[in-house]
Amino acid sequence: MLSPPKAIGHVEVEDQKYILSLGSYMNGRTAVMLHTNEGEPYAVVSKNIPSVDIDDGEFFVGWYELTPQILMGLDSCGFFEDTGSRIKPVGSHVELPLWKMKDIIANAYIKVVEE
């Protein structure tokens, strides 16, 4: 990843709070992760697919590597919205949803990166 993850909020998964962290991949795309309160990686939410054009603040969700409880926590946290777009990467058997950060999160992330 190009920029290290920066904590910008929390996501609740089965009565546990995890730190929502955003960073960027080498190509500048948004990387979304969850960490424990101790800073240990818990889940990588985003998938980087450089061959597909997307807007800033958008990312593909690697749902097949996440539990239903993590997906529910991410969906209900209010930080993201599903664009409705799906992409099936070359060589893959699954479609990935395209999500985007809501403006309040995008603005908070930009502020953290600039500091």
Domain boundaries, given as residue ranges, for the chain: 3-114
Rounded CA-CA distance 34/110 in Å is 18
115, 68 contact by CB (below 8 A) = no
pLDDT of 3 reads 61
pLDDT of 113 reads 46
61, 44 contact by CB (below 8 A) = no
For the entire predicted model, the pTM comes to 0.84
Regions in the chain scoring below 50 on pLDDT: 1, 111-115
Residue with tokens 């424990």: 36
